[in-house]
Structure 1
Amino acid sequence: MTTPAKLRTFSFGGGWQSMAALVLASQGELDYRTFLMANVGDDSENPDTIAYFHEHAKPFADQHGLELHLLDRVKRDGSVETIRGRILNSAGSRQTIPVYLSNGKPGSRVCTKEFKIDVTGAWLKAHGATPDNKATVGMGITVDEIGRANPNKAMPYEEIDYPLLWMGIRRADCPRIVRSVGLPMPPKSSCDFCPIRKVHEWQAMQEQEPERFERACEIEDTINRHLAAKGKPPVFVTPYGRPLRELFKHGRQLPLIVEDADACSNGWCMT
């Protein structure tokens, strides 16, 4: 039996590093021709990230002979599942995203594993990746984020590569790379309701994108409604111990809280 060719794919997160990697690949500076973006859901991802993918990233990839695939999480019955859909339709499961517990610590989560790693993994295995024929998967971690690089977190069917690290590229270099080919900078990619968000980002969302902010509040409300019905304490999408919709009332100044640095440490999100 002929062994399938070894796969080389890049994990495309939709942010600055991913677009810089795509541009570098188009110029022959990066040895990747296939880019995979796991779509957590058009109703869950930053809508500007989805728009950028279709309006800029995908056309650019096509123009330069690169493969850029948008992958959905498909259930056994053939339906597409999103993170928002799971929370709203599964009794408000709080384990889906890393909400903060009453003690201010982040809880467990499955969002990255089930909606990014598993989705990309299904594509890799369908295209020949196995423990004996591992795919090389590039991650968009830059020099200033070297602490997030951890090849030991690779799945059995993959080997993790950090090409931007080896090239000495920093996040601050990405705008120059992306704009050098006439592309606008992509927005920061992340779920609308992701708890791994700084307080000033929540405040900016409330002020500038109130409908998006309300969707995040709805997720928190849904989870807590189901927890209350079970007699359990509430959880929150920020570490401040009160509902998101009440966080910025009366112009209250919030104390600085240092987020858990390991909360998004593997490079699958926000690159």
Structure 2
Amino acid sequence: MTDAAPAPVLRVLSLGAGVQSTTLLVLAAAGELPRLDYAIFADTGWEPAAVYQHLDRVEKEIARPAVIPILRVSSGNIRDDALDPRHRFASMPLHILNRDGSPGMTRRQCTSEYKSKPIKKQIRSLLGYPYPARIPRDVFVEQWIGISTDEFHRAKDADVRYMRNRFPLIEAGLTRDDCLRILTEHGFASTPKSACLGCPYHGNAQWRAIRDGSPAEWADVVAFDHAIRAGNARANADGNRLLGQAFLHRSRLPLDQAPIDRPTAQERRARQLPLIEAHELEDGEPDGCSPWACRSGASTQEKFGLTA
């Protein structure tokens, strides 16, 4: 007879406040999934107002009645840090136009720094082993990740022993459309996508929504796009200036000049855009920024120039 597998000390939800993770919170609160001990929201400090409003509502109407504490954690304000020459900045995946006209993209470090790092710190605290304390091998949390069956390829194991990832939506065979149906049934049909206001992975539809629906937020991202043209402030202060220019929009044009309006079929043909590419430009990734499955996939760095 073999010993039973060790049980998790806690069951926590990585709450991005987008469609999938909100669905998990709703199902747990309704008793359709096991009880959660905590939900953890990693705040970059630059989420759209709609995300903060949604999070407040979910906390009031879903989490508190079910006695599921929502813990809000942060490593700082990603926008302020990018523009502060005194602050060590975790690079955003900016679109680069090199001097020779070739495209590139800076390395993505922001997900690790502003999402997964503060969550890991909070989980260590909940377990009673703050860094650099060694956590015993059999002490761990079960961490729920909001990935549905249509994105099963994004499901990955945790990179530390004290966190063991679980994907209840995949286990239940639920798609993103199923999640939208569940949220609609519970009065949360307007659940927003969770991503930084100025995320370079936005599709044109998201940029338009900001421009047309929130003038103040549009002015904010346009100003930020202008401010990062030469890269982040700390790199410039350290003498590591880009040889090219950095942009938020994949067209590598200033955001207020970028072609974010939906192209007509004639314009698409004139620009020789394949239908699939046109779809990606329009919609971007379907979900927001997950600490464990960033929309950009693996951390990569395309070719771009720096000064010597």
Match of residue 123 from structure 1: 122
Contact 2:41 2:72 in 1 (8 A): yes
| Structure 1 position 100 matched with structure 2 position 102 | no
Contact 1:35 1:69 in 2 (8 A): yes
> Within 2, Cα distance between the matches of 1:65 and 1:114?
29
TM-score (norm 1): 0.82
| Structure 1 position 207 matched with structure 2 position 212 | yes
Shift of the 251–184 alpha-carbon distance from structure 1 to 2, 3 Å rule, reads closer
Match of residue 145 from structure 1: 151
Contact 2:148 2:174 in 1 (8 A): yes
Gaps of 5+ in 1: 74-80
- Equivalent position to 2:14, from 11, 24, 38: 11
| Structure 1 position 83 matched with structure 2 position 61 | no
Gaps of 5+ in 2: 1-5, 130-134, 297-308
> Within 2, Cα distance between the matches of 1:29 and 1:186?
20
Amino acid in the other structure paired with 2:23: A
Match of residue 302 from structure 2: none
Amino acid in the other structure paired with 2:43: N
Shift of the 65–246 alpha-carbon distance from structure 1 to 2, 3 Å rule, reads same
> Within 2, Cα distance between the matches of 1:157 and 1:35?
17
Shift of the 207–36 alpha-carbon distance from structure 1 to 2, 3 Å rule, reads same
> Within 1, Cα distance between the matches of 2:147 and 2:89?
28
Match of residue 163 from structure 1: 168
Match of residue 76 from structure 1: none
Task: Name the count of aligned residue pairs.
Answer: 257
> Within 2, Cα distance between the matches of 1:188 and 1:250?
19
Rg larger in 1 or in 2? Answer: 2
- Equivalent position to 1:242, from 248, 253, 272: 253
Q: Give 1:203 shift.
A: 2.7
Give the secondary structure class of the aligned counterpart of 2:74: strand
> Within 2, Cα distance between the matches of 1:250 and 1:8?
43
Residues 212-271 of structure 1: CA distance to partner in whole angstroms, max 9, x if unpaired?
A: 12211222222225679746311111221211121149998575545798x96843679x
Q: Give 1:14 shift.
A: 0.4
Residues 154-196 of structure 1: CA distance to partner in whole angstroms, max 9, x if unpaired?
A: 3343111111100101110112212333444311111110011
Give the secondary structure class of the aligned counterpart of 1:101: strand
> Within 2, Cα distance between the matches of 1:45 and 1:57?
17
> Within 2, Cα distance between the matches of 1:93 and 1:9?
30
Match of residue 197 from structure 2: 192
Query: Which aligned pairs between 1:8-47 and structure 2 lie closer than 5 A?
Result: 8-33=11-36, 34-41=38-45, 44-47=46-49
Query: Which aligned pairs between 1:218-233 and structure 2 lie closer than 5 A?
Result: 218-225=223-230, 230=241, 232-233=243-244
Shift of the 114–32 alpha-carbon distance from structure 1 to 2, 3 Å rule, reads farther
More deviation, 53-62/249-258? 249-258
Percentage of identical aligned residues: 24
Give the secondary structure class of the aligned counterpart of 2:169: helix
Contact 2:142 2:163 in 1 (8 A): yes
Match of residue 110 from structure 1: 109
Shift of the 125–93 alpha-carbon distance from structure 1 to 2, 3 Å rule, reads closer
More deviation, 8-17/104-113? 104-113
Q: Give 1:126 shift.
A: 0.7
Match of residue 154 from structure 1: 159
- Report the RMSD for the aligned CA atoms in angstroms: 3.2
Shift of the 30–269 alpha-carbon distance from structure 1 to 2, 3 Å rule, reads farther
